[in-house]
Amino acid sequence: MKTESSSSSVVEFLEKVPLLHRLTSSSLKKIAQVLVFKRYERGDYVVGRDDEEMEGVYFVVEGQAQVLGPVGEENCTEFFLKPFDYFGRGIFGNVYAVDVVAVSQLTCLLLTSDHCHLLETKPICDSDNERSLLERILYMDPLDLNVFRGFTLPNAPALGKVFGGQFVAQGLAAASKTVEFMKLVHSLHAYFLLSGDINSKDFNLNMLLLASTLLFSSESSLAVPIIYEVSRLRDGNNFATRRVDARQKGKTIFTLFASFQREQQGFDHQESNMPHMLPPETLVSRDEMLQRRMTDHLIPRYYRNKVATQYTAPLPIDIRFCEPNYSTEERKSPSRLKYWFKARGELSDDQALHRCVVAFASDLMYAFISSDPHLKKRMSAVPVSLDHSMWFHRPLRADDWLLFVMVNLTASQSRGLATGEMFNRKGELVVSLKQEALLKETVTSNPILDSKL
């Protein structure tokens, strides 16, 4: 049995193997547990062309091997295998029509055939259980090395357009899939350029039907897919930087910059203190509160009808408001808000997944606190996120309760600026946020904006 330290070393090796870059940390850990060490002396045959079937997939750890192919090509450098190279079943097929010979002392890790299913590409969530709605939203369909396709599901949050948190979360998920898993996002800065389209009437129907068969089967939406293109700006020893551009119908509609860091020990202190709030278990959920609003005759009928019209299905995030806040037209709301939230259902242990889920949840109500102080009777205002920044300070779990404390600092020139902090139940500050939103009174109750400007 591998010790924890040796298993960690194997995982660190695996995350440098190009073949495995598309896999999540939990998948690599599962692979590390079943690998077999194989050692060969110079001249030993690792694989023979007469072998009827490969033992599995080999990963070169130390030394060199040579692939002896057609006559005249034996000395080609393309046929020398070095550390982090790989060969075997599932790559060149079950029947290997060449010889692989050790040209020095050679150490390999063997993933046997009965475990080769672990190499299958899985979404960032990589859960053994049935995927939750959030995990399905975060699925990134790989189209090329740095290009991914995201989808808007029928029951995903939307208000006539793609939800901003979906852009942030899917963009971060795409960026995360191009970074070695030991580096986690520590900051991101996003710009919402154009509204995302969820109406497929002008899009090629054949493309949509093809996309709908890839993953979601009957659950698939005919919404226009979003293409996320990742630019690898920097890959250092401890940091990596990515830019992600999201496109629809040939237009760039969203851009995200994200920086990733390998875990490092250093100074640790915290000036921000978590406010004392009632435990989330004692508070009413957002969905129950909305149900009450629709039937509470102390609330103006216009507002009750408005809530009933806009409420469709429970969010994939469970929200518990810390203070009663009806936000009716007859009573202005304060320019601050506090609530507990967590993902519905249990997520895998992949820290990248948890940070993507928190990014998704961060935009659910953030922009509204800038417009809430200005509410008046029968006023309809739908703030639109312009830019969004997050800093991840400590490890977190999105399927455990987090307290979101947000404050609107100012509103001017049709723009509002808000800050936010997220604390875990121990009072540790895990995330800091800032967002600027466009604030305009609207004429219709459900506007669809073609542009942010």
Calpha distance 239→233 (Å, rounded): 11
SS3 143: strand
Could you list the beta-strand ranges (E) of 16-159: 36-40, 45-47, 56-62, 65-68, 80-81, 86-88, 99-102, 106-112, 141-144, 147-150
Of 434, 351, 356, the C-alpha closest to 389 is 434
Q: Is 272 a catalytic residue?
A: no
Place of tokens 């075997």: 88
* 100, 279, 297, 302 from 292: Cα distances, Å: 70, 21, 10, 15
Q: Is 132 a catalytic residue?
A: no
Q: Is 385 a catalytic residue?
A: yes
SS3 123: coil
Active-site residue, from 66, 197, 385, 399: 385
Calpha distance 88→97 (Å, rounded): 11
Strand partners, 341: 319, 402
343 Cβ partners below 8 Å, 6+ apart?
132, 134, 316, 317, 318, 357, 361, 398, 399
Calpha distance 67→74 (Å, rounded): 7
- In DSSP notation, 302-363 reads HHHHHHHHH--S--SEEEEESS-----TTSPPPSEEEEEEEESS---S-HHHHHHHHHHHTT
Q: Are 430 and 390 in contact (CB under 8 A)?
A: no
DSSP structural state of residue 285: B
Active-site residue, from 197, 363, 372, 399: 363
Calpha distance 31→7 (Å, rounded): 10
Q: Which amino acid is at 185?
A: V
Catalytic sites, residue numbers: 363, 385, 435
